[in-house]
Chain A
Amino acid sequence: MAENVWILGIHMTKFGKHPDKDTVDLATEAAMGALNDAGVQMKDMGILAAGSLMGAGLGMGQSIQKQIGQTGIPVYNVANACATGATALRTAVMSVKAGESDYGLAVGVEKLAGAGLLAGGARKSDENVFTPSGRYGAVAPVDGRIGTETMPGVFAQIGMEYLHEHEYGGEQFELFARISEKNHAHSTLNPLAAYTKKMSLEEIMGDVMIAYPNTRPMCSANCDGAAAAVVVSDSVLKKLSKEQQSRAVKIAASILTTDPWEEACQVLPNVNTLTRNAAKQAYEQAGVGPEDLDLVELHDCFATAELVHYDNLGLCEPGGATDFFESGATWRDGKTPVNVSGGLESKGHPIAATGIANVWEICHHLRGEAGDRQIEGAKVGLAHVIGLGSACGVHILEKAA
């Protein structure tokens, strides 16, 4: 039986605009913050896993080492779309679990402030003489002609598909806008969020439409930020101080899945099945069920995505996501608070940092250090991310006994 792995230290930077810092500045701030929080040093680390999606291929891990300690340890530079941070964390966890390292450091960083719409890319002018090319033998760009490749549009369809499969009597646009209203309300208590302004339903619905039913505040906010975590093995933790032991958070489950083939999955990405599979494996590994969760941070890259993940993570009855939301269960005073950080819609979504920042939020509550937004008595929490393509990371975290 492999050892349990614990989060010993974890840190996230303020999300938002950091015009005077580059990705290495942000990554080192997070990494040094996590080491400091853990009470250990770079020379103790046996592995470093790092992700920076926009800078993939540039060796973010080695760049971090060159600022804070070139100790010669193995570096894994990972990329898995929006699940990059969770993948870095899982890589460090695997190394410790395998007994190859006593301590591991995982870092995710991104600079996106001011970045426009993600994906799709500029359409090139049409060719002078039509010549079929690519896997669909296309003679001209297909984005906008055969569906959409924009993220807000893809995830809008994912939310609408849910309402088609599970009939909803209410107003569709308003339903999704109310999910966004919740997350923006939650963000007012999070000083590290990129946007902390409460927004009324009217303001959300009246804002710029990006891809119906997602208006601008219903989309994840492009911003800069980094997050990092130090993980440690059970046996090493036992030799550390009482304070370190009491603040350590148990990684009760660390799961990564990809999307299994099913009809339509190459037509519209299916973010459901891989999340369901990850959740099922995570609950089994942790020995807990959705009813045991005191809080959940899930991947609300768009308001339309949050709805489907209530169902995918088993937080509600199958097919019952709309009723579940309308019961108030996912507000911070509800049965299963979801995205009390403000979620990606207000906290922000610096892609590779997100998968560790979500874990940071859960740890903060389990340690009882979340200040004004503390979920009282939180003992178990779940962090979920989806990277389109697709990859899903789920971590279940438990307060130290």
Chain B
Amino acid sequence: MAKQIPLVDYLVLGDAPHLVAHECASCGARFFDRRNACASCSGTKFKSVDVPTEGELKAYTIVSFAAPGVPVPFVAGVIDCGGTSVRANVINTDPDPEHVKLGMKVRLATNVVGTDDEGTEAIGFGFEPY
């Protein structure tokens, strides 16, 4: 099997792929990016927490026009994963309003984004209806 690397550092690969967030130790605010401090309370201590892999689609758009090099159409949305909001594409479904519904249940799924010159696969993620 090819060597794999996650598309972003907050995606954990392996048998049970999932997302991790930086949770502020003082106020519980969660972030996916590298932190200097907390935007909610300015605290500087964080712990790593697993984000639920199932959630509900609370906002979406179907993008037909994007920057050069971005394949369209695709569904971009926000998923409420047990109280933690996640930005992701909705994948493994037709990109039209008949198949994508506000409030629908979705779960994390991974996909191969590309392969580099050393044969390493970049693995991305999206959320699929179930």
Quick check: B7 and A146 within 8 Å, CB to CB? Answer: yes
Give the residue name and chain of the A residue nearest to B28 (CB). Answer: A263
Contact of A160 with B124 at beta-carbon distance under 8 Å, contacts A120-B70, A137-B34, A146-B89 already known:
no
User: Does A172 count as interface, using CB distance less than 8 angstroms?
Assistant: yes
Q: Report the contact-size class of chain B (Cβ under 8 Å from the partner).
A: 35 or more
Is the C-beta of B39 less than 8 angstroms from some C-beta in chain A?
yes
Q: In the complex, are the beta carbons of B33 and A209 less than 8 A apart? A: no
Do the beta carbons of B67 and A143 come within 8 Å of each other? yes
**Nearest chain B CB to A205's CB is how many angstroms away?**
12
Within 16-33 of B, Cβ neighbours of A (below 8 Å) are at 29-33
Asked whether A136 lies within 8 Å of B8 as measured between CB atoms, the reply is: yes
Q: Would you call the interface of chain A mostly helix, strand, loop, or mixed?
A: loop
* Those of A238-266 within 8 Å (CB) of chain B: 261-264, 266
List CB contacts (< 8 Å) of A148-166 with chain B: 148-150, 152-154, 156-158, 160-161, 163-165
Q: Which residue of B lies closest to A119 (CB)?
A: B67
B67-A123 in contact (CB<8A): yes
Contact assessment for A160 and B60 in the assembled complex, using a CB-CB cutoff below 8 Å: yes
Please give, as numbers and ranges, the residues of chain A lying within 8 Å of B69 by CB-CB distance. Answer: 122-125, 141
Contact residues on A (Cβ < 8 Å of other chain), bracket: 35 or more
Give 1 or 0 for each of A189-225: 1 = CB within 8 Å of chain B CB. 0000000000000000000111111100000000000
Contact of A147 with B89 in the complex, beta carbons under 8 Å: yes
Identify the B interface with A (CB < 8 A).
5-10, 29-34, 39-40, 58-72, 74, 76-78, 83-89, 97, 102-103, 113-114, 116-118, 120, 122, 124-125
Question: What 4 A-B pairs are tightest by C-beta distance, nearest first?
Answer: A137-B9, A144-B70, A123-B69, A156-B61
| New A-B contacts (9) at CB < 8 Å, excluding given A139-B5, A144-B66, A212-B61 | A122-B68, A132-B9, A139-B7, A146-B125, A160-B102, A161-B59, A210-B65, A213-B61, A263-B85
Residues in A lying within 8 Å of B, measured CB to CB: 117, 120-130, 132, 135-150, 152-154, 156-158, 160-161, 163-165, 172-173, 208-214, 261-264, 266-268
